[in-house]
A and B are shown apart, each in its own frame.
Chain A
Amino acid sequence: MAILEVTGLKKSFGGVMAVGGVDLVVEKGGMYGVIGPNGAGKSTLFNAISGFYPCDAGRVVFKGQDITGLSPDRIVKMGMGRSFQVTKIFPKLTVYENIHSTVLFTEGCGWSMLSSTKHLAREGTRAVLAMVDLAEKADELAGTLSAGDRKRLELGIVLATKPDLILLDEPTCGMSPQETVETIALIKKINLDAGTTVLFTEHKMDFVFSMASYITVMNFGLVIASGDPETIRNDPRALDVYLGEG
């Protein structure tokens, strides 16, 4: 059963076509990778799917509902979370507050004006911090974290929204080899244990081929190949534009 269906999605900036009519189907519970060289349109595709950019044409259906043109907050409430290529966190809040604010909002306390945050949603916040291995850095300002820790914090924020589908834009970018291995394990765990569907972009090919059950290859805003990892490994178009470079 498809959790996400993208049909004929187009997005241009001025005269430059960033995404030129992409079709994509993501099955529930799957792990999907989108690869392509820099400027292929992967991030723009994510931005258009998640409501960050309005689409010029096409349709995005999430959990059977047309979400084309909806604002990000409404899409998130429907169960889609996302991370960004350049990490988006709350830098002058502590790591704890970054997660706590998200847990509070997700649990429906966001409009409470007279109750103290101190005793609300503590367990949920701690659970997410432990999941992304940031419990020991809970009191540090998010802006002082290393690039790898920022990525993990952002992943924690995304998980705190309790999503059914997560869009991860280069989730291991800036991470050390050790951090990369840990993050891959975490994403796999989220996918297997919680049944969360994952759609990700990544430049580390080992990561992509060890994780994804289905891969879409993009170039110049178009899908040029798609299939399981074995198919993509042997696809001459994919090899030509991307894998061949290595």
Chain B
Amino acid sequence: MELSSKWKALAGLIALSVLAVLPFYLQERYSQYEVYLATKIVVWVLFAMSFNLVLGYGGMMSFGHAAFFGAAAYTCALLMVRGKWPGIPAYLVAPFVAALIGLIVGYFSVRITGAFYFATLTLSFSMLLYILVFKWRSFTFGDDGIQGIPVPDLISTQESYINCYFFALIVTLVCIYILWRIVNSPFGLILRTLREDPDRAAFIGVNVNRYRLVAFVISAFFSGIAGVLYMSLEASLAPDILFWSSSGEVILMGLVGGMHVFLGPAVGATIMVLLNSLLTSYTQNWGMFLGITLILIVLFFPEGVLGVLREKYLAVAKKRSL
């Protein structure tokens, strides 16, 4: 038994209202840093949900999604800094570059049988891109990173993060809506059959590799949008965003929140960003505490926080209906 559409609409309305007043409240009650943190959560929510199309719905363990996130961020920044492009065309082109890279990486990766090899190949492509950005100093600024990216005035974070927050929020909500339509479409259902049993999927007539590739490219595109939002928020970039640890973080977000529930990765991203911020303010060894937290979550909430809550809700609903 699922929530009725009336309750869903009401919950959505309340969530939207909270998200609309949140930055003003945070700015008033706390500081700009909290607005920055809220924007960061929004960006990572989009990245985690884009990635989950591949892992949670398609069953593909990509360990290289940082490549698409970082490639779009770097493309947008370099077009504006090196190419002197105006903001709008640079913002529009960058996700398509991520999708193109997704097409190339996916073309080779989807043919591989076995999750381990798939993860290794995607990781390798991602690290290749990292090395390229890191070493090609004359073009990418190497490990100095790109500073002072000319983010359009409308969403500039120089005086306040509020405009950037709303820009990121609107883009993310639109993307989430499109992702929601995709996962609830026939394409989304077929994608889930591939996750469950690709052999059986082939024996209902599905061209498994083609479906996987299309899902991979869509995921890369939306990850690219998240990368552009990240660049807008930070107004600077370092090659670190292409490093394997960014790919690892986005996997963990899915695990923590629940990769088999649509909004699971959003919850996971929120928890992870908040934990990161909280722990780094107390200790330099935040990674260790994060690791312990993750072990506990995986042990006691194997379906993720939202996955467990959903199971409990369904169990109660079933009991009531008997």
Encode contact with B along A63-85: 1 for CB under 8 Å, 0 otherwise: 00000000111001100011000
Within the assembled complex, what's the spacing in Å between the Cα atoms of A22 and B201? 28
Nearest chain B CB to A75 CB, angstrom units: 9
Which 9 pairs across A and B sit closest by C-beta, in order of nearness? Answer: A90-B196, A88-B200, A76-B205, A72-B202, A104-B186, A102-B204, A109-B186, A113-B187, A112-B186
B199 at the interface (CB under 8 A from A): yes
A95 at the interface (CB under 8 A from B): no
**Could you list some 15 contacts between A and B, CB below 8 A?**
A73-B203, A76-B203, A90-B192, A90-B197, A92-B195, A93-B192, A100-B189, A101-B186, A102-B204, A110-B187, A114-B185, A117-B184, A117-B189, A161-B204, A161-B205
Closest residue of chain A to B190 (Cβ to Cβ) is A110
**Other A-B pairs beyond A113-B181, A117-B186, A157-B200, 10, CB < 8 Å:** A72-B203, A90-B192, A90-B197, A90-B201, A93-B193, A101-B204, A105-B206, A113-B186, A116-B185, A160-B204
Binding site for B on A (CB under 8 A): 50, 52, 71-73, 76-77, 81-82, 88-93, 97, 100-102, 104-106, 109-118, 120, 157-158, 160-161
Closest residue of chain B to A80 (Cβ to Cβ) is B203
Most buried by A among B181, B184, B185, B201: B185
Q: Are A76 and B196 in contact (CB under 8 A)?
A: no
Within the assembled complex, what's the spacing in Å between the Cα atoms of A22 and B189? 39
Nearest chain A CB to B208 CB, angstrom units: 7
Task: Note all chain A residues with C-beta closer than 8 A to B186.
Answer: 101, 104-105, 109-113, 115, 117, 120
Closest residue of chain A to B202 (Cβ to Cβ) is A72
Nearest chain B CB to A227 CB, angstrom units: 30
B40 at the interface (CB under 8 A from A): no
Which of A71, A90, A91, A104 meets B202, CB within 8 Å?
Answer: A71
Which of B187, B193, B207 meets A90, CB within 8 Å?
Answer: B193
Within the assembled complex, what's the spacing in Å between the Cα atoms of A91 and B195? 10
Within the assembled complex, what's the spacing in Å between the Cα atoms of A71 and B197? 16
Within the assembled complex, what's the spacing in Å between the Cα atoms of A81 and B208? 16
Task: Note all chain A residues with C-beta closer than 8 A to B202.
Answer: 71-73, 76
Nearest chain B CB to A155 CB, angstrom units: 13
Q: Are A113 and B185 in contact (CB under 8 A)?
A: yes
Most buried by A among B189, B202, B203, B207: B203
Within the assembled complex, what's the spacing in Å between the Cα atoms of A59 and B220? 42
Within the assembled complex, what's the spacing in Å between the Cα atoms of A92 and B195? 9
Within the assembled complex, what's the spacing in Å between the Cα atoms of A169 and B18? 56
For chain B, the bracket of interface size reads 20 to 34
> For residues 164 through 195 of chain B, which have their beta carbon under 8 Å from a beta carbon of chain A?
181-182, 184-190, 192-193, 195
B65 at the interface (CB under 8 A from A): no
Within the assembled complex, what's the spacing in Å between the Cα atoms of A173 and B195? 26
Binding site for A on B (CB under 8 A): 181-182, 184-190, 192-193, 195-197, 199-208, 260
Given A90-B192, A101-B189, A101-B193, answer yes or no on A114-B200 (Cβ-Cβ < 8 Å): no
Q: Are B193 and A106 in contact (CB under 8 A)?
A: no
Within the assembled complex, what's the spacing in Å between the Cα atoms of A72 and B199? 9
Task: Note all chain B residues with C-beta closer than 8 A to A92.
Answer: 192, 195-196, 260
Within the assembled complex, what's the spacing in Å between the Cα atoms of A92 and B205? 20
Q: Are B196 and A105 in contact (CB under 8 A)?
A: no
Q: Are A73 and B190 in contact (CB under 8 A)?
A: no
Nearest chain A CB to B59 CB, angstrom units: 10
Closest residue of chain B to A160 (Cβ to Cβ) is B204
Q: Are B200 and A90 in contact (CB under 8 A)?
A: yes
Task: Note all chain B residues with C-beta closer than 8 A to A105.
Answer: 186, 190, 204-206
Within the assembled complex, what's the spacing in Å between the Cα atoms of A90 and B188? 14
Within the assembled complex, what's the spacing in Å between the Cα atoms of A101 and B228? 35
Within the assembled complex, what's the spacing in Å between the Cα atoms of A114 and B181? 5
Most buried by A among B187, B204, B206, B207: B204
